[in-house]
Structure 1
């Protein structure tokens, strides 16, 4: 079947909701205005239970079906990014320095569309838990909601999520069983040397040279310390030091990201980076401190739930517009915490051509909102059918 007809009727309303949300992007756990808008819509739809204040501004809404049955979870993220918007849209961000550059305004809208349909039709047994989550971009809001007990509190048995995908065909779905997105870690390296005049380097212990040596040596973790067929990324993304051409500074700072799938590879990176930083510091006669922050775990789809989700996606978009073996992506996603707690699946929904995610000219494609809402609705109806 294509887009659910009743949801297609909501298309104009959904575009209005989404464009309003686009004007009020909020960061991390501070999604107060966004959450208030979501709560207002859910009350209008007539959901059976509303639970807010989870992970500060997160929401779980319950819709009861007909008869006994399990509870299925559907998740949307609500937060924006600290990026100045450059779209020139009539509904551009009104919050300076913040924008919905990743489409979470669209994700929230798709789940609201599904909520409206499910509350109206209730063509399923058991319950559906609608999870509106803050702090996906930074802060791990999904993990906080899990830690605060939503899976047990609402007896959620399985959980699903969507993410828009610029550059891929509008309305097409993409997923894969097993690992789909990487674990993400962050490292900070602070170097303490002895500064001095740039014309007299022999009187200094140069943190600039040490930073260069550490940055280069770190790359050998990928090239010489891991098996080449195992996915691994180690990227130095910042080096900050110095103020003027004729002064060797006292300090330098390096920062970067590590992406892995295998916990053993992650452990190896942590050990080797510690050894490299200590060894390079000694060789340059400086002191260096490594702060290695373990972040979101890998996002791992349950094979059976992934196959089921792909089957539902084919009903919505057609066999030739669903790819269920896309392979791994080195990006990261905190929905991983929910998939650690319950089996489920994460899918990408193509939104056609346009600026990419996290770009200041990005804008969610409102045409795909009914597609995503239909997917969420049919997941519930097929997972927990009446009769």
Structure 2
């Protein structure tokens, strides 16, 4: 079953929806206009139920099949939020909101799920219920966690859930997926190194937090190289070094380090947090300084379920002719929270030869729309075949 004819017919219309969303990006939970557009379209499609305000600004639409003999409910999720990036595409439909941009393709995800919803509401050629989920605040706000905390899964008795993300660098409309751990846990840390400031010409009268911080930065790399199993993935990156002084001749009183930790397992996540704290504390003590460590856990590891992943790959192959094995991704994805509550799978759809996501020149490739819409629609029709 290749791209569905009806969705090919809707390609232009869905593209117009996508470009309208691209012009009006909204960040985190401030997706008020986007949510209103989504709810309005779901109503026009004839959805059986539409609820707004789930997870603060999320939208849920319910579409019932022609029959419901088994009580099966499948959830399909798209993210709606943009990024705080100044767009540099020069497109005629470029962002009209200064400092905000759909630089990760969530406009495309939303438009594709709307296209699938329109098709499913028209045809209803399935036995059960589909719940379309439009989520805010994927980009760091944990909107998926908030929607789950609002009881979404139990309220609609969602039994399986499926998500999708575009992926630049591979042919538009092609697919890739992998079972098990897929996207990394994303943690952050801040280390404040307190020393004793003074004149740079008299370092012996100080406890230099800059030198101490340099030792800590170097030592933190031993977490990946000497503490973690070499065949497992772990990244510890110090991304910011800030001093309490900006003068050339002053040794500062304190230095603040900030960074991120990415892991693919609970074990390594716990290991990294424990080792980071001890390395910072004891290295500072050895230099006569003190270190205050704050460790912030972000999104958990996103884990695809085996059975649902195999099914999602089968559907992708039916749509595009093949489904590749996706690489491990050290970026984060808060669809992880939904996969912790229900079995399901997350797939990548090719975006073609475009700038990478989170780049000011990125743009979602509208040529991927028919394949993405067809995958979602086919997930429903194959998982809940008409009675």
TM-score in same-fold range (> 0.5): yes
What secondary structure, in the 3-state scheme, does the structure 1 residue paired with 2:159 have?
A: strand
Structure 2 counterpart of 1:86:
88
Distance in 2 of aligned mates of 1:314 and 1:270 = 40
User: Which of 188, 191, 196 is residue 189 of structure 1 equivalent to?
Assistant: 191
Paired positions, count: 384
Structure 1 counterpart of 2:259:
256
Structure 1 counterpart of 2:296:
293
User: Which of 172, 175, 179 is residue 177 of structure 2 equivalent to?
Assistant: 175
Structure 2 counterpart of 1:221:
223
User: Which aligned pairs between 1:200-279 and structure 2 lie closer than 5 A?
Assistant: 200-241=202-243, 242-279=245-282
Distance in 1 of aligned mates of 2:111 and 2:65 = 22
Structure 2 counterpart of 1:304:
307
What secondary structure, in the 3-state scheme, does the structure 2 residue paired with 1:13 have?
A: helix
Structure 1 counterpart of 2:99:
97
User: Which of 281, 303, 320 is residue 284 of structure 2 equivalent to?
Assistant: 281
Query: What RMSD in Å do the two structures reach over aligned CA positions?
Result: 1.1
Deviates more, 1:24-33 or 1:72-81: 24-33
Distance in 2 of aligned mates of 1:172 and 1:88 = 27
Deviates more, 1:294-303 or 1:279-288: 279-288
Structure 1 counterpart of 2:12:
12
Deviates more, 1:64-73 or 1:112-121: 64-73
TM-score (norm 1): 0.97
Unaligned runs of 5+ in 2: none
Q: CA deviation at 1:202?
A: 2.1
Q: CA deviation at 1:327?
A: 4.0
What secondary structure, in the 3-state scheme, does the structure 1 residue paired with 2:111 have?
A: helix
Q: CA deviation at 1:29?
A: 1.0
User: Which aligned pairs between 1:144-183 and structure 2 lie closer than 5 A?
Assistant: 144-183=146-185
TM-score (norm 2): 0.97
Q: CA deviation at 1:244?
A: 2.1
What secondary structure, in the 3-state scheme, does the structure 2 residue paired with 1:156 have?
A: coil
Query: Are 2:53 and 1:58 equivalent residues in the alignment?
Result: no
What secondary structure, in the 3-state scheme, does the structure 2 residue paired with 1:234 have?
A: strand
| Deviation >3 Å, runs of 4+ | none
Q: CA deviation at 1:205?
A: 1.8
Distance in 2 of aligned mates of 1:12 and 1:264 = 47
Distance in 1 of aligned mates of 2:196 and 2:100 = 39
